[in-house]
Amino acid sequence: MPTATPDVHQILWGVPVTCYAFNHDNTKVAVSADSIDVQIWARRNGAWEVESVLSQHDKLVTGVDWSAATNMIVSVSQDLNAYVWQHELSTGNWKHAMVALRTNRAATCVKWSPLGNKFAAGTGAKSICICYYDESQDLWKASHNKKHITSTVLSVDWHPDNVLIACGAADMKTRVLSAYIKSIDPKSGNPVWGDKLPLDQLCAEYKSNGWVHGVAFSPSGASVAWVAHDSTLNVSTSKDSFVTVKTGNLPLLSLLFISEDRIVAAGHDCVPYLFERRASSWELVNKLDQGPKRSVAANSAMLKFKQMDSRAQANADTELNSYHQNTITHIRPYAGAATNITHFVTGGVDGKLVVWEL
Amino acid sequence: MSNTLKTYIAAVRATLTAAMCLENFASQHVERHNKPEVEARATPEVLLTPVVISRNENEKVLIEGSVNSVRVSIKIKQADEIERILCHKFTRFMMMRAESFVILRRKPVEGYDISFLITNFHTEQMYKHKLVDFIIQFMEEVDKEISEMKISLNARARIVAESYLLQFP
């Protein structure tokens, strides 16, 4: 249970944090503020400031990821393009390289692989573009995973072995696919998901009753979990079966394994929830947001009558009793090893990034 | 009568809260487009099953949801001809000014008197729970408004008729 109050960073006003990614030491964050640019915010003297603006896209930037391994940023947008940005130490600028995704629909999400040598971008063309850098031609190339997907891809996540990906789509199915690239991946097999893994091999497919908004692999890769629009969290450790946890709340949008047996998920309820593995099934343990402690002011009665006078509102309480005032769109790890994450950060439609301590 | 109103409103509120879980979704049908899917209806898998909540055969609410937009259509109670005319004029007044209303639709859905179209862009700019509160408040007050208008209409008609007939001995 969180004992400390979370760290709230209201970096945007009136604009949602569409997507964000922190760098490896959490000193900077790349943010798409519901715009066509990616802003890099850096913390100077305790306050957040815009350090640089990466503008190459023409339409809303829907996905941003910052590789801890290579310090490169990838951004994808509804303008059908992806750009990889590299930081030049000499000038402090970010140099962009366009990645030809060869897709004819918007890109929706992007994730760097654990080693940072590939990234997976989900698109509305019912495909996932696995992009890698071709040394001989000095450009980023894309291969497509499109045989098995039948609708817009809503989320992707990489398996720790750098070869498999899990994806959730609007056709209400979660799939584990292979993103094996012959030129850069060593021949590998996987005890849980299968031995022979050519590109776009379907390793597993799971059906839900709602669009799959978020997927995640556990730190060891033995489990895959997803959250769907039917307000459930599902976890699977094998190709055929999975456990469903039905929550009586609004649908969850994003999830994170904080250890092999614990998941934190958040969504339209504006609060993060903690799920734990109990024997062979999972259950919802707790809501991690008990609300900011409202100071019981002595003049709250006066404030109430003031509100009634100036705004003709009998009940002036428009705020929710939680740190986020609107939907939480993404949860990402902030600090701690992958098997025992101590802090996580949530970004929401209210323009806030909140860092939670467990 | 009012005990059905409470459960009716509670059901509408719960359904609206669930239907307003929207997110940005680029059109899967046309590249570079971003349309409310409940209006475009080009991609069947992102549309939710429409729900009708009826209080009785004269009052009902249709809620059609999708991944990035929700359409709420209300059928207002109209007991007689006068109320039908008043309701039509009242909703027409609002629908002609739909742009400043932001979430109002210019034409009601077939079979209903007034429709709202709420998209993910609206839920990003406004509080979701306040949008639901607004629609519920609208439903509760429109009946009162129309009854008030009918009463004042009848009062005026009576005054006019009286003063006209006074000239005859």
* Per-residue pLDDT reduced to its tens digit, A200-218: 888 899 999 999 999 999 9
CA B15 to chain A, closest CA, distance in angstroms equals 11
* Per-residue confidence (pLDDT) for residue A317, from 0 to 100: 67
Asked whether the predicted pLDDT for residue B149 surpasses 70, the reply is yes
* Per-residue confidence (pLDDT) for residue B1, from 0 to 100: 55
Inter-chain CB proximity A80 and B32 less than 8 Å: yes
* Per-residue confidence (pLDDT) for residue A291, from 0 to 100: 76
Residue with the bigger pLDDT between A197 and B114: it is B114
Q: Are strands A107-112 and A47-54 parallel, antiparallel or unpaired?
A: unpaired
Which runs of E-coded beta strand occur in chain B? 51-56, 59-65, 69-75, 114-119
pLDDT band at A137 (very low <50, low <70, confident <90, very high): confident
CA A59 to chain B, closest CA, distance in angstroms equals 8
Residue B100 CB neighbour total at 10 angstroms:
7
- DSSP lists the bridge partners of residue B83 as none
Asked whether the predicted pLDDT for residue A89 surpasses 90, the reply is no
Mutate to test the interface with A, among B20, B32, B130 (most CBs of A within 10 A): B32
- Using the Cβ of A62 and the Cβ atoms of chain B, whether some distance falls under 8 Å is answered with yes
Mean pLDDT of chain A: 89
- Using the Cβ of A320 and the Cβ atoms of chain B, whether some distance falls under 8 Å is answered with yes
Closest CA to A115 of A188, A55, A19: A188
Tell me the pLDDT tens digit for each residue of A223-270. Answer: 999 999 999 999 999 888 899 999 999 999 999 999 999 999 999 999
Mean pLDDT of chain B: 93
pLDDT band at A315 (very low <50, low <70, confident <90, very high): low
| Strands, sheet with A232-236, edge to edge from the N-terminal-most edge strand | A212-217, A224-228, A232-236, A243-246
CA A205 to chain B, closest CA, distance in angstroms equals 17
Inter-chain CB proximity A211 and B46 less than 8 Å: yes
- Using the Cβ of B129 and the Cβ atoms of chain A, whether some distance falls under 8 Å is answered with yes
Tell me the pLDDT tens digit for each residue of A25-35. Answer: 889 999 998 88
Asked whether the predicted pLDDT for residue B10 surpasses 70, the reply is yes
CA A24 to chain B, closest CA, distance in angstroms equals 28
Please give the single-letter amino acid code of residue B27: S
- Using the Cβ of B34 and the Cβ atoms of chain A, whether some distance falls under 8 Å is answered with yes
Q: What is the DSSP string of A101-163?
A: ---SS-EEEEEE-TTSSEEEEEETTS-EEEEEEETTTTEEEEEEE-SS--S-EEEEEE-TTSS
| Strands, sheet with A262-267, edge to edge from the N-terminal-most edge strand | A252-259, A262-267, A272-278, A281-287
Of residues B21, B28, B31, nearest to A268 (C-beta): B21
Inter-chain CB proximity B46 and A152 less than 8 Å: yes
What pTM does this model have?
Answer: 0.90
Tell me the pLDDT tens digit for each residue of A59-70. Answer: 999 999 999 999
Asked whether the predicted pLDDT for residue A3 surpasses 70, the reply is no
Find out whether A164 and A158 touch, Cβ atoms under 8 Å. Answer: yes
At A319, list the tokens.
Answer: 């705020």
Inter-chain CB proximity A327 and B17 less than 8 Å: no
Of residues B21, B23, B127, nearest to A325 (C-beta): B127
Closest chain A residue to B133, measured at CA: A318
Asked whether the predicted pLDDT for residue B163 surpasses 90, the reply is yes
Inter-chain CB proximity B67 and A106 less than 8 Å: no
Beta-carbon pairs below 8 A across chains A and B: 76
A37-41, A217-221, A303-307, B87-91: which range is least confident on average? A303-307
Asked whether the predicted pLDDT for residue B125 surpasses 80, the reply is yes
CA A16 to chain B, closest CA, distance in angstroms equals 6
* Per-residue confidence (pLDDT) for residue A277, from 0 to 100: 93
Inter-chain CB proximity A320 and B129 less than 8 Å: yes
Asked whether the predicted pLDDT for residue A1 surpasses 80, the reply is no
Tell me the pLDDT tens digit for each residue of B94-119. Answer: 999 999 999 999 999 999 999 999 99
* Per-residue confidence (pLDDT) for residue A313, from 0 to 100: 64
> Residue B25: its chain A contacts at CB < 8 A?
152, 170
Mutate to test the interface with A, among B33, B70, B124, B131 (most CBs of A within 10 A): B124
Question: d(Cα A268, Cα B67) in Å, to the nearest integer?
Answer: 13
* Per-residue confidence (pLDDT) for residue A156, from 0 to 100: 95
* Per-residue confidence (pLDDT) for residue A294, from 0 to 100: 62
* Per-residue confidence (pLDDT) for residue A200, from 0 to 100: 84
pLDDT band at B68 (very low <50, low <70, confident <90, very high): very high
pLDDT band at A331 (very low <50, low <70, confident <90, very high): very high
* Per-residue confidence (pLDDT) for residue A245, from 0 to 100: 93
Closest chain A residue to B46, measured at CA: A170
Tell me the pLDDT tens digit for each residue of B74-101. Answer: 999 999 999 999 999 999 999 999 999 9
Question: d(Cα A225, Cα A255) in Å, to the nearest integer?
Answer: 8
Asked whether the predicted pLDDT for residue A295 surpasses 60, the reply is no
Interface of B with A in 60-99 (CB under 8 A): 67
Q: Please provide residue A155's backbone torsions phi and psi, each rounded to the nearest 5 degrees.
A: -160, 150
Q: Please provide residue B158's backbone torsions phi and psi, each rounded to the nearest 5 degrees.
A: -65, -45
Asked whether the predicted pLDDT for residue A219 surpasses 70, the reply is yes
Direct distance between the N- and C-terminal alpha carbons of chain A, in angstroms, rounded to an integer: 6
* Per-residue confidence (pLDDT) for residue A176, from 0 to 100: 93
* Per-residue confidence (pLDDT) for residue A14, from 0 to 100: 84
- Using the Cβ of A34 and the Cβ atoms of chain B, whether some distance falls under 8 Å is answered with yes
* Per-residue confidence (pLDDT) for residue B154, from 0 to 100: 94
Q: What is the DSSP string of A281-314?
A: EEEEEEES---------TTHHHHHHHHHHHH--S
